[in-house]
């Protein structure tokens, strides 16, 4: 296929009045969510008969030959499970104790080569396409399948996509049966891991069916970027035009710049002539935006660019692209600037799973997690260590969160170069993405091979997106070899003691902490428990290769050449249990647990990453049987001084050192522990009381109104109170849930890194123990307006309920 580029500059355009014909045409392009009514069944990696004869039937001898297998469109799948995507079958499996490092690292789930009976999944989808649409093009797009997917339509093989993290699309047009039943079949092979952490299994992201005219803009075929020049911005639109007809065509590409309310701000139109049959051209246009409203962390404003193709004065395709206008400046000595304002990166690393749902995270939960991080003071998110789901980036765009978007593997072979290209082309319109990462902690990072691979990847990045730069996450201290010689921004994984000498030796290279801290803590636990695999909830315990939060942040905050850094990690995640193995099934690294409940270290960061009044005491004050014994009390605050009281008696006043914390050893007495802090001449108070016995359940929903689309979801956090309304921090009751109405329960969790309770309860008996006073339920909307009621009961406790509205 031949590619041509037409660069057209239209000068300084003022405000342009809308023209009557712009949006009057009916445009055939459609994007349909393809998540509902899939059939699912396990195959078998070692037994062909249980794998529907996949490896013994000669399905590749003739095109479309699939007789008698699950690939055959006539195959009877009525007994298969019916489900809705996204779907992660691994989260539904029981935990298994196996002495194998990779199984341990993936959270002790029976997925991988040792478990052939639960590592192959088959999906089938039945659908129809109207005969009237037979002149259109149809493309199926999978946002993410873990992993090694093979796909067929009506028995015809579409292709294979090994990656579990980049999306893939296939043109279905030649194989469709118009006006008749079509069957899409996906075989997912999760016998091989890609990471060393929980990855899930199955079609765990959305699937979309695209329909458009043979003359169209291909998927991700529009790149919008802006350059601020004084009081205005020059917005560049690069639009690919694809002609999938059998004759040359002529036409125009029009670009319309709209504000958030849909008001036309600028427009441009370019001709393309004699676009050959089955060819693609890229049309580049420039529009002038006076007084741009800049995208920022506190005001994440986005514009819309509408790109239309017209042929014979008729609109045949239209694509709408959301984008933001902002400037990023990265310096070697002063850090990073967003829109000319200095920004210290207060970032977190995150894997993509959540309690109850594994990797099949509902869109609403992406927004919930980003809001939790912003409340802590986080302003940057590193997608570790793979391309994120598109909805995560949408959440960061709309809520104001910078993103370091990371490539999966450092490899320049055609397959992996294509993965990098897919990542960049898909994500480069997101204003939240401020930097690319080409890889993480690769064995070849100090070698000449690593350097050459990095140079190839960097060249591809600059070709596809010259508006951003790249880093690489190196677990090396003051080392300037291999990748570090060519990477534009030096990334440090831990080894923060090596940052200062590296900067002194290489003052011209900007640097950022790509992984920092890595304290291990268990929410609500204050002693070492090697039997259950718990570590104290203080900023005190860390692996040999990492540091406490306080150690790295005091260093970074004191030196302007740091861009800041990303904590390992924002949330606990499944797999990679550290420092223990079984019974641990998830990590302890999170500032929050897998449900998003804060640990003590959360308040350290919130103290120094926000301007809010923060005063936090830890631990709780329920210690029966420990009367008279010393309890280590930590205070996190951004006040100047703190005085601590026990039952009204002062235990002394201490000055709060910048970026640190305060400690007291307090002999336990039941009653009230209170801190009184002085900040800017104001008193701030926080108390911790010994509670009575648990009396009632409290359900706290994130939202009580959902869209009745079958996709929207909300989180209900569960706690218990005593008769005086005080939250009981050490309660461990079993909470049972019920749902009355058209919604559905998706998953449960409690943040216990050693809990082996099921995350999903297909038998209908939904329940979860509290872990140190808390657990969580995730529910999803139905498809019809109405209400549903969530109930929560426990033996000996007053029940609770919440009504969810779906107007």
Query: Is 231 a member of any domain?
Result: yes
- What is d(CA 480, CA 493) in angstroms, rounded to the nearest whole number? 14
Helical (H) or strand (E) element with 364: helix 363-376
- Cite the active site residues: 441, 515
Query: Is 471 a member of any domain?
Result: yes
Helix, strand, coil % over all residues of the chain, rounded to 5: 15, 40, 50
Query: Is 25 a member of any domain?
Result: no
The number of domains in the chain is 5
Q: In terms of domains, do 318 and 332 share one? A: no
Question: Please, what's the b/e burial string for 73-103 (b: 16 or more CB within 10 A of its CB; e: otherwise)?
Answer: bebebeebeebebbbbbbbbbebbebeeeeb
User: What per-residue confidence (pLDDT) applies to 9?
Assistant: 30
Kindly report the number of other CB atoms within 10 A of residue 660's CB atom: 15
Q: What's the distance, CA 644 to chain centroid?
A: 40
Query: Is 724 a member of any domain?
Result: yes
Residue at token pair 């409940």:
597
Q: In terms of domains, do 190 and 231 share one? A: no
User: 264-275 and 489-493: which strand pairing?
Assistant: unpaired
Strand partners, 544: none
Q: In terms of domains, do 201 and 284 share one? A: no
Spatial neighbors of 697 by CB under 8 A, at least 6 apart, are 718, 719, 720, 735, 792, 793, 794, 797, 798, 799, 800
Query: Is 800 a member of any domain?
Result: yes
What beta strand segments (E) does 276-313 contain? 279-290, 303-311
Q: In terms of domains, do 376 and 432 share one? A: yes
User: What per-residue confidence (pLDDT) applies to 25?
Assistant: 45
Query: Is 617 a member of any domain?
Result: no
- What is d(CA 788, CA 198) in angstroms, rounded to the nearest whole number? 33
Q: In terms of domains, do 289 and 409 share one? A: no
Spatial neighbors of 263 by CB under 8 A, at least 6 apart, are none
User: Which of 194, 212, 230 is at the close of a domain?
Assistant: 212
Token pair belonging to 704: 């009580």
User: What per-residue confidence (pLDDT) applies to 734?
Assistant: 98
Q: In terms of domains, do 96 and 138 share one? A: yes
Whether 246 contacts 343, CB under 8 Å: no
Kindly report the number of other CB atoms within 10 A of residue 680's CB atom: 8
Q: In terms of domains, do 409 and 493 share one? A: yes
Say which CATH number the domain at 538 has: 3.20.20.80
Q: In terms of domains, do 679 and 702 share one? A: no
Residues in the chain: 807
User: Which of 301, 323, 345 is at the close of a domain?
Assistant: 323
User: What per-residue confidence (pLDDT) applies to 14?
Assistant: 28
Query: Is 768 a member of any domain?
Result: yes
Say which CATH number the domain at 239 has: 2.60.40.10
Residues of the chain with pLDDT under 50: 1-25
- Going across the sheet that includes 264-275, the strands are 264-275, 249-258, 303-311, 314-323
- Phi/psi at 586 (nearest 5 deg)? -145, 170
Spatial neighbors of 780 by CB under 8 A, at least 6 apart, are 362, 710, 711, 712, 713, 743, 744, 745, 746
Kindly report the number of other CB atoms within 10 A of residue 603's CB atom: 23
Query: Is 319 a member of any domain?
Result: yes
Q: In terms of domains, do 355 and 280 share one? A: no
User: What per-residue confidence (pLDDT) applies to 660?
Assistant: 97
User: What per-residue confidence (pLDDT) applies to 764?
Assistant: 82
Among residues 245, 213, 173, the alpha carbon closest in space to that of 318 is found at 213
pLDDT tens-place string over residues 656-672 = 999 999 999 999 999 99
User: What per-residue confidence (pLDDT) applies to 65?
Assistant: 86
230 burial (CB, 10 Å; 0-12 / 13-18 / 19+) is exposed
User: What per-residue confidence (pLDDT) applies to 628?
Assistant: 97
| Domain with 548 in it | 328-599
DSSP 477-515: SS--SGGGGT-SEEEEES-GGGHHHHHHH-TTS-EEEEE
- The DSSP code for 162 is -
Q: In terms of domains, do 298 and 365 share one? A: no
The helix/strand/coil state of 789 is strand
User: What per-residue confidence (pLDDT) applies to 27?
Assistant: 56
Q: In terms of domains, do 317 and 342 share one? A: no
CA angle 118, 124, 128 (to 5 degrees): 170
Q: How many CA atoms lie within 13 A of 762 on its CB side?
A: 9
User: Which of 179, 212, 245 is at the close of a domain?
Assistant: 212
User: What per-residue confidence (pLDDT) applies to 273?
Assistant: 81
Q: In terms of domains, do 43 and 184 share one? A: yes
- Distance set, CA 308 to CA 2, 15, 20, 283 (Å): 22, 19, 15, 12
């Amino acid at each position: 296929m031949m590619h041509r580029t037409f660069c057209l500059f239209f000068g300084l355009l003022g405000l342009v009045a809308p023209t009557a014909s712009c949006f009057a045409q009916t445009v055939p392009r459609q994007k349909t969510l393809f998540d509902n009514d899939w059939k699912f069944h396990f195959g078998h990696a070692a037994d062909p008969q249980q794998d529907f004869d996949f490896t013994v039937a000669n399905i590749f001898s003739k095109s479309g030959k699939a007789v008698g297998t699950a690939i055959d469109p006539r195959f009877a799948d009525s007994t298969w499970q019916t489900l809705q995507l996204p779907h992660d079958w691994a989260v539904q499996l029981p935990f298994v104790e196996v002495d194998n490092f990779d199984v341990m690292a993936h959270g002790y789930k029976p997925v991988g080569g040792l478990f052939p009976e639960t590592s192959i999944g088959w999906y089938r989808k039945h659908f129809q396409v109207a005969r009237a649409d037979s002149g259109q093009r149809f493309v199926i797009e999978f946002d993410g399948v873990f992993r090694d997917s093979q796909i067929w339509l009506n028995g015809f093989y579409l292709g294979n996509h090994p990656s579990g993290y980049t999306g893939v699309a296939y043109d279905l047009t030649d194989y469709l049966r118009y006006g008749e039943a079509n069957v899409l079949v996906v075989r997912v092979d999760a016998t091989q891991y890609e990471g060393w952490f929980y990855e899930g299994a199955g079609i765990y992201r959305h699937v979309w069916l695209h329909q458009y005219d043979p003359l169209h803009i291909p998927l991700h075929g529009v790149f919008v970027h802006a350059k601020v020049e004084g009081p205005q911005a020059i917005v560049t639109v690069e639009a690919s035009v694809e002609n999938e007809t059998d004759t040359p065509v002529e036409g125009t590409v029009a670009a319309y710049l709209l504000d958030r309310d849909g008001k036309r701000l600028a427009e441009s139109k370019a001709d393309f002539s004699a676009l050959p049959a089955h060819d693609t051209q890229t049309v580049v246009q420039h529009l002038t935006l006076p007084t741009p409203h800049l995208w920022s962390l506190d005001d994440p404003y986005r514009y819309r660019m509408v790109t239309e193709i017209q042929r014979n004065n008729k609109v045949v395709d239209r694509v709408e692209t959301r984008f933001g206008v902002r400037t990023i400046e990265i310096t070697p000595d002063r850090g990073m600037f967003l829109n000319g304002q200095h920004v210290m990166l207060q970032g977190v690393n995150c894997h993509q799973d959540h309690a109850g749902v594994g990797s099949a995270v509902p869109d609403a939960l992406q927004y919930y997690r980003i809001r939790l991080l912003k409340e802590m003071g986080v302003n940057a998110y590193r997608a570790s260590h793979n391309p994120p789901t598109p909805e995560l980036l949408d959440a960061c765009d709309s809520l104001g969160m910078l993103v370091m978007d990371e490539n999966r593997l450092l490899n320049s072979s055609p397959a992996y170069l294509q993965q990098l290209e897919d990542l960049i082309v898909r994500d480069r319109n997101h204003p939240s993405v401020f930097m690319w990462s080409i890889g993480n902690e690769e064995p070849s990072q100090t070698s000449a091979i690593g350097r050459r691979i990095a140079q190839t990847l960097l060249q591809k990045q600059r070709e596809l997106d010259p508006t951003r730069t790249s880093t690489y996450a190196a677990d090396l201290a003051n080392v300037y070899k291999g990748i570090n010689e060519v990477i534009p921004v030096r990334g440090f994984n831990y080894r923060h003691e090596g940052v200062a000498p590296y900067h002194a030796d290489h003052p011209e290279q900007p640097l950022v902490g790509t992984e920092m801290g890595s304290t291990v803590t268990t929410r609500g636990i204050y002693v070492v428990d090697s039997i259950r695999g718990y570590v104290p909830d203080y900023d005190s315990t860390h692996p040999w290769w990492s540091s406490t939060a306080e150690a790295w942040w005091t260093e970074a905050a004191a030196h302007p050449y740091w861009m800041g850094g990303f904590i390992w990690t924002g949330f606990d995640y499944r797999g990679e249990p550290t420092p223990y193995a079984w019974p641990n099934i998830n990590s302890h690294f999170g500032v929050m647990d897998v449900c998003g409940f804060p640990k003590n270290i959360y308040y350290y960061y919130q103290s120094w990453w926000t301007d809010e009044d923060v005063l936090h005491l830890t631990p709780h004050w329920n210690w029966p049987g420990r009367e008279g014994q010393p309890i280590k009390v930590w205070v996190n605050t951004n006040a100047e001084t703190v005085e601590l009281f026990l039952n009204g008696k002062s235990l002394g006043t201490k000055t709060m050192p910048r970026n640190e914390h305060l400690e007291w050893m307090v002999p336990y007495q039941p009653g009230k522990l209170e801190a009184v802090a002085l900040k800017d001449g104001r008193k701030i108070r926080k108390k911790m009381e010994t509670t009575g016995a648990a009396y009632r359940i409290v359900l706290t929903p994130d939202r009580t109104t959902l869209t009745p689309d079958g996709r929207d979801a909300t989180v209900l956090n569960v706690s218990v109170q005593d008769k005086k309304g005080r939250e009981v921090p050490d309660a461990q009751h079993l909470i049972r849930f019920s749902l009355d109405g058209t919604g559905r329960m998706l998953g449960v969790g409690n943040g216990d890194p050693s809990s082996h309770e099921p995350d999903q309860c297909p038998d209908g008996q939904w329940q979860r123990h509290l872990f140190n006073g808390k657990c969580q339920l995730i529910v999803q909307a139905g498809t019809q307006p109405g209400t549903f009621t969530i109930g929560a009961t426990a033996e000996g406790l007053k029940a609770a309920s919440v009504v969810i509205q779906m107007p």
